[in-house]
Chains A and B, each alone.
Chain A
């Protein structure tokens, strides 16, 4: 029982990793399902278009879902037309693009996973490239094969060409190999880029490592506390309102934050090295409602991020 608890604790600590792995498994499962159920290469001149649509549409859908699920997107966009100064604050006009860039990078994780899994599988790429009518590509693929290769490459994916089996098999394997190499390249490039960006961001961090760890824990706890207090106040307020409605009484006053206080608390967090504030709410509570000059945001993008991808 004790061992079980330890294992469970270990897994709960690795939430991010588990979240990503789960996403990867889901993507793999989805890709398998597609391949078996829905994907049928037409084996005609439309191969290229068909293969590309199957390769990139799920990636696009995953990207949009990634945008939807990211809390920061909605924090950024809520109320921006009503008050454009919110997202283009004076003296810091690039802030919007910086934050939007971060959101996009987070949202790109799932599509890249899909692309790498789909390319490693090879079916989509094989279908698409067998329909590509680019002369130089055809030359590269068919260079030591019979002349039929040029006209019948698009039938190779369905095993319906009139070429000898050995040749069409070799062509299929070549295309699949290309696909898998491309898939590995995508994985390696993505891994390197993410490592580089994390390193750069860490280098530029004005905050020490341990303080950063504390910061992460603080943000999680603040999120939980905020949720709890929302529930508490919502219950209090609605109880009071309903009681007054049903029993025809006068409502007693319940103190709630003002409109301006809500607005200030919803700003995206900007780090200031002169003060030690761990979040917007912390800053507001300690400094009142007056505006202060902010330095540029550093790597504290996790401050407004979700815990799980």
Chain B
């Protein structure tokens, strides 16, 4: 029993990595299913469109789903149309702020779509279909060989032996479409991993907080999120009890302390970091600055990518 718990602890500690791996595996598995069950290259002039749609559209859908599931985005967007009336910021300033906040979010969301594209390229069926209908490839491979070559080219995805048979006749010498696809897939994977490593290193480098404090911060964020849900449920239950009781019994409600609209507004701002004060979240900041009334509440100037986890809903305590 204890060993099982140790294993569970291990899984929980490495949640981020496990999470990303599961996302990648799921994407790869569904790509496999798509490829073998659903995808049937038409082998005519519509190849390019068909292949590209299968390659790009699911990636785009995964991208949109990622945005919809991301808590930080909703935190940023909720009420932002009204906020501009109170805020004296220039539209340019708000725009840059939005971009600055959304860039790390986008980077994290891109995992699933890029996995799809990479796996699809490694399996080669989609690219083969698309490339056999593309005019660029046609010009590269069928230079001065006439219509015959074009016809053969679009039929390649449907008939594996065709290329061998026609190769001598039309003396086409080129890297097979499948091999091209796989090379592109590997380059894409290598580039993505390098960019991911470098950008994480750079964002970590610019972190004003040390490693252990960052670790503690992640744990705090997660705990605060969990406790917020619990406390919100409790509070809501009590308030609902009072209201419904008073409704049915036609009595006046007992005074019950609940945060005002303004209080909720204040804690829903996006977190900004201030080196002088050590606040781990907006709630922490709010509580320690006299319920947001002190001047120090507004003072926060840094939006740091490394602190991107602060307003996310599912924060892992381990990982990088």
Interchain CB contact under 8 A, A74 and B320: yes
B284 close to A (CB within 8 Å): yes
Query: In the complex, which of the residues A50, A64, A75 contacts B182, with contact meaning CB atoms closer than 8 Å?
Result: A50
How many angstroms from the CA of A114 to the CA of B267 in the assembled complex? 50
How many angstroms from the CA of A240 to the CA of B287 in the assembled complex? 9
A292 close to B (CB within 8 Å): no
How many angstroms from the CA of A262 to the CA of B217 in the assembled complex? 11
Interchain CB contact under 8 A, B210 and A262: yes
Interchain CB contact under 8 A, A248 and B320: no
A238 close to B (CB within 8 Å): yes
Interchain CB contact under 8 A, A79 and B207: yes
Query: In the complex, which of the residues A68, A79, A245 contacts B283, with contact meaning CB atoms closer than 8 Å?
Result: A245
How many angstroms from the CA of A74 to the CA of B193 in the assembled complex? 16
B143 close to A (CB within 8 Å): no
A247 close to B (CB within 8 Å): yes
A residues 219-249 touching B (CB-CB < 8 Å) = 226, 230-231, 233-235, 237-248
Query: In the complex, which of the residues B211, B223, B259 contacts A75, with contact meaning CB atoms closer than 8 Å?
Result: B211
Interchain CB contact under 8 A, A64 and B193: yes
Residues 40-71 of A, flagged 1 when their CB comes within 8 A of B and 0 if not, give 10101110011001100100110011011100
A50-B182, A53-B183, A78-B211 as given contacts; A241 in contact with B175, CB under 8 Å: no
Interchain CB contact under 8 A, A44 and B173: yes
Residues 281-308 of B, flagged 1 when their CB comes within 8 A of A and 0 if not, give 1011011100100000000000000100
The residues of A that contact B179 with a CB separation of less than 8 Å are: 40, 42, 46, 50
For A231, the closest partner residue in chain B by CB is B219
B215 close to A (CB within 8 Å): yes
A132 close to B (CB within 8 Å): no
B208 close to A (CB within 8 Å): yes
B98 close to A (CB within 8 Å): no
Query: In the complex, which of the residues A40, A49, A246, A256 contacts B278, with contact meaning CB atoms closer than 8 Å?
Result: A256
A residues 258-302 touching B (CB-CB < 8 Å) = 258-259, 262-263, 265-266
For A246, the closest partner residue in chain B by CB is B235
A89 close to B (CB within 8 Å): no
Among A64, A81, A231, A245: residue with most chain B CB under 10 A: A245
Interchain CB contact under 8 A, A60 and B193: yes
What count of chain A residues pass the 8 Å CB interface test? Answer: 58
A8 close to B (CB within 8 Å): yes
Interchain CB contact under 8 A, A44 and B175: yes
Query: In the complex, which of the residues A45, A50, A68 contacts B183, with contact meaning CB atoms closer than 8 Å?
Result: A50
The residues of B that contact A61 with a CB separation of less than 8 Å are: 189-190, 193
A38-B123, A44-B173, A262-B212 as given contacts; A57 in contact with B224, CB under 8 Å: no
Interchain CB contact under 8 A, B283 and A242: yes
What count of chain B residues pass the 8 Å CB interface test? Answer: 66
In the complex, number of A-B residue pairs with CB atoms less than 8 Å apart = 168
For B279, the closest partner residue in chain A by CB is A241
Interchain CB contact under 8 A, A82 and B206: yes
For A229, the closest partner residue in chain B by CB is B216
Interchain CB contact under 8 A, A238 and B175: no
The residues of A that contact B267 with a CB separation of less than 8 Å are: 245
A80 close to B (CB within 8 Å): yes
A12 close to B (CB within 8 Å): yes
A147 close to B (CB within 8 Å): no
B3 close to A (CB within 8 Å): yes
The residues of A that contact B254 with a CB separation of less than 8 Å are: none
Interchain CB contact under 8 A, B208 and A238: no
Interchain CB contact under 8 A, A82 and B186: no
Nearest-CB distance from A87 to chain B (Å)? 9
Interface positions of B (Cβ within 8 A of A): 3, 6, 17, 122-124, 164, 173-176, 178-179, 182-183, 186-187, 189-190, 193-194, 196-197, 200-202, 204-216, 219-220, 222-224, 227-228, 231, 235, 257-259, 263, 267, 275, 278, 280-281, 283-284, 286-288, 291, 306, 317, 320
10 A-B pairs with least C-beta separation? A266-B210, A262-B213, A81-B205, A238-B224, A234-B220, A57-B186, A42-B179, A266-B211, A64-B193, A234-B223
Can you name 16 A-B pairs with beta carbons within 8 Å?
A53-B186, A75-B211, A79-B210, A231-B219, A234-B219, A234-B220, A238-B283, A240-B287, A251-B287, A262-B210, A262-B212, A262-B216, A265-B212, A266-B210, A266-B211, A266-B213
Interface positions of A (Cβ within 8 A of B): 8, 12, 37-40, 42, 44-46, 49-50, 53-54, 57, 60-61, 64-65, 67-69, 73-75, 77-82, 160, 226, 230-231, 233-235, 237-248, 251, 256, 258-259, 262-263, 265-266
